[in-house]
Amino acid sequence: MLFSGCGELFSSQPDIDYSNTVTMLDVGQAACTLIESDGSFCFIDAGKYGGGTDIVSYLKQRNVKKIDLFLISHFHYDHTSQALDVIRNMDIGTVLIPSLSPENIPDSYFYKSLTEDARNGYYNLAYAKDGLEFTIGQGILKVIGDTFNSENINNTSTVVSFTQGDFVYLNTADCETDRESMLLELLPENVDFLTAGHHGSSDATSQRFLDRVNPAFVGISAGKDNDYGHPHKAMLKRLENIDIPYAITSEIGNIVYSIDTQTLITE
């Protein structure tokens, strides 16, 4: 659903200009975000198979040929499944991954492929560290906090902000409430566009977190009739109680947000 007040954010355009946008792709019960700034691209996570969107096909439709920065927030399948397809079909500048302790490094073909391809010079491999910055077009993507090596893999998620002029986007991936609390003082205030944590679960996007970042708009990536009950009613209630408009991918499809006009664009 669209929470009341969200309609005012929509801008319908016959010929969409994606040049300065943040797009949350409709990938079912998964996550995938594309930031486009002045012809440069940052890609965050890569959904899962069967989620409703073939990510490589979508990128080609958007005329994406090079991804300057590809962030894998953490190593859960609903954030990584189509990543190798993307890597093998696009020119990749840098892949950014969590800085994992030995016990948290996944014993997977995907992780081994990432590191081997980097050794072979196909792209640079960077590890998340607090304050690490990347220039994306006219904006800056910044890592917030060092990797938290937890038994809870959700909390190993890399948290990033993207700032372009006065616009601020925040993505906490699957971080849960306890991790949000650890990062609270590092988080930006008055965020323009927030991706709800952990697909809108009840254990993320807490009231303390919302009070700190004070988002103007929230996007939620969740699959229709998913087994987890995402987005959770309690989380939606927190948004509604403080009049924060939101949109859910399962309801409207891709969420495309203009950095320049700070409105949603209808595809």
The pLDDT value given to residue 8? 58
Three-class SS state of 246 = strand
Q: Which residues, given as ranges, of the chain have pLDDT below 50?
A: 1-5, 14
The pLDDT value given to residue 50? 82
Whether 261 is covered by a domain: the verdict is: yes
Whether 151 is covered by a domain: the verdict is: yes
Say what the pTM is: 0.94
The pLDDT value given to residue 6? 59
The span from the CA of 232 to the CA of 196, in Å, is: 11
Are residues 172 and 123 in contact, defined by beta-carbon separation less than 8 angstroms? no
Q: How many domains does the chain have?
A: 1
Whether 169 is covered by a domain: the verdict is: yes
The pLDDT value given to residue 1? 39
Whether 1 is covered by a domain: the verdict is: no
pLDDT tens-digit series, residues 45-97: 999 988 778 999 999 999 999 999 999 999 999 999 999 999 999 999 999 99
Whether 113 is covered by a domain: the verdict is: yes
Q: Is 243 left (phi over 0), alpha (psi -120 to 50) or beta?
A: left
DSSP state string for 247-259: EEHHHHSSEEEET
Whether 122 is covered by a domain: the verdict is: yes
Give the strand pairing for 167-171 and 159-164. antiparallel
The pLDDT value given to residue 4? 40
Range of the domain at 96: 6-266
- What backbone phi and psi angles, to 5 degrees, belong to 199? 60, 25
The pLDDT value given to residue 17? 87
Whether 212 is covered by a domain: the verdict is: yes
What CATH number does the domain containing 122 carry? 3.60.15.10
Give just the sign of the alpha carbon dihedral 125, 116, 42, 49.
Answer: negative
Three-state SS annotation for 13-77: CCCCCCCEEEEECCCCCCCCEEEEECCEEEEECCCCCCCCCCHHHHHHHCCCCEEEEEECCCCCH
The pLDDT value given to residue 154? 98
